[in-house]
Amino acid sequence: MGYLLLPRLVLIGGLLLLPFLVDMYWQRVLCIAGIYALLALGFDFLAEYVGLVCLGGAFFVGCGTYISGLLSATLNWSPVFTIPIATVGGAALSTLVLLPCLRLRGIYFAITSFMFPLLTVHVIIALNIFGGTEGISALATFPNVWVDQYLILGVVIFSLFAMRRLVNEDFGLILRGIKDNDQAVRASGISITAYKTKAVFIAALMGCFGGAYLSHLYGWIGISQFALDFSILPISAAVMGGMGTLVGPVIGAFILTPLSEQLRDFGQLRVVVYCLILIGFIVYKPEGLMNYLQRKYHQFEHWKEV
């Protein structure tokens, strides 16, 4: 049991101890890393277990952000109410928007999902709604920094283990069947569209929670929360951490986000350094960190007769 529990305890303990090991500036970076971790987890789930390469992470974040921010600004509601409503409502809206695209595959679904955040930004600017380019400020924020930290970290840990459990149930088996041979699943009398819709909704829940959390973290909403970083960096985190492992993208997000922030001192060269690091992983370690570490860890397994 110790052999099985040790990696999980190290992960949970490490995440929970991180806020005590860094200063206030890096604590805020840690919060953003948690948002990227949720997006990377959703991307890995859809890509590796459903076969949908979704680049709409920015759309999920934007929907959650604006719903939560508008509820807070217009009704003066507390984050206790706005975050759950924005999480579920944003996920439902995102799923409804993507529903006609679920019959698409591969690059076609990826390109379509990538266009929605761009489309939404231009609609907001053109109609000058929801604060236009200036956004809406003076929203309710969290009471203290510890709520900031452990709310997002707790949700990341819960989401990770919930997704791990989900993909090992019958629901996950059907999703893998859809990815491998959707015609065989359809021939079994199972609705492929229904299962894909549920999968997109689950991934959108995590992204919309990240957006709703972000609106109250900064006390502001704006079109920058539809930024393409929320679509691109989770992919990089999944590649670095290890696709298909679920935990790998989470670890990748907690590595890449502080690294990206640290490289700001290099100015425009930070993009070059960032790209070189990613290219190095793709060329020399395409399996990702987690797959490599899992293989090395299992080499120390010892069986004993009882």
Distances in Å between the Cα of 145 and the Cα atoms of 25, 26, 150, 253, 275 are: 11, 12, 9, 21, 32
Sketch out the chain's domains with CATH numbers. Answer: 2-298 (1.10.3470)
**CB-based contacts of 253, cutoff 8 Å, min separation 6:** 33, 34, 36, 37, 39, 40, 233, 234, 237, 241
Q: Residue 136: helix, strand or coil by DSSP?
A: strand
Whether residue 48 contacts residue 244, with contact meaning beta carbons closer than 8 Å, is answered with: yes
Residue pLDDT tens, the chain, 306 long: 777 788 889 899 999 999 999 999 999 999 999 999 999 999 999 999 999 999 989 999 999 999 999 999 999 999 999 999 999 999 999 999 999 999 888 889 999 999 999 999 999 999 999 988 899 998 999 999 999 999 999 999 999 999 999 999 999 999 999 999 888 999 989 999 999 999 999 999 999 999 999 999 999 999 999 988 898 889 889 988 989 899 999 999 999 899 888 877 776 666 677 677 778 877 887 788 888 888 877 776 555 566
Write down the pLDDT at residue 16.
93
Q: Locate 30 and state its tokens.
A: 């840690």
Tell me the C-alpha distance between 199 and 181, whole Å.
Answer: 17
Output the pLDDT for position 300.
67
Contact between 92 and 201 (Cβ < 8 Å) = yes
DSSP 267: T
